[in-house]
């Protein structure tokens, strides 16, 4: 995983969510928000699911 690739973090978070691993997804999305502050709205919408 490229530590500067925000899209990769987003996709990995989706994988964790699909696998029922919400805490891991939260950790990944925390990193994503640092890499891409504009992704905060996407993360917020996913958290509502």
Domain-wise residue ranges, the chain: 6-47
Buried b (16+ CB within 10 A) or exposed e, 9-37: bbebbeebbeeeeeeebeebbeebbebbe
pLDDT digits (tens, 9 = 90+) for 4-49: 998 899 899 999 999 999 999 989 988 888 888 888 777 777 776 6
Q: Cite the DSSP H helix spans in the chain.
A: 6-18, 22-35, 40-47
Q: pTM for the whole thing? A: 0.78
CA distances to 1, 3, 13, 49 from 44, in Å: 23, 21, 13, 9
């Amino acid at each position: 995983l490229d530590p500067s690739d925000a899209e990769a973090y987003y996709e990995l978070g989706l994988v964790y969510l699909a696998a029922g691993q919400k805490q891991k997804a939260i950790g990944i999305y925390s990193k994503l928000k640092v890499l891409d502050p504009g992704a905060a709205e996407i993360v917020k919408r996913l958290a509502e699911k």
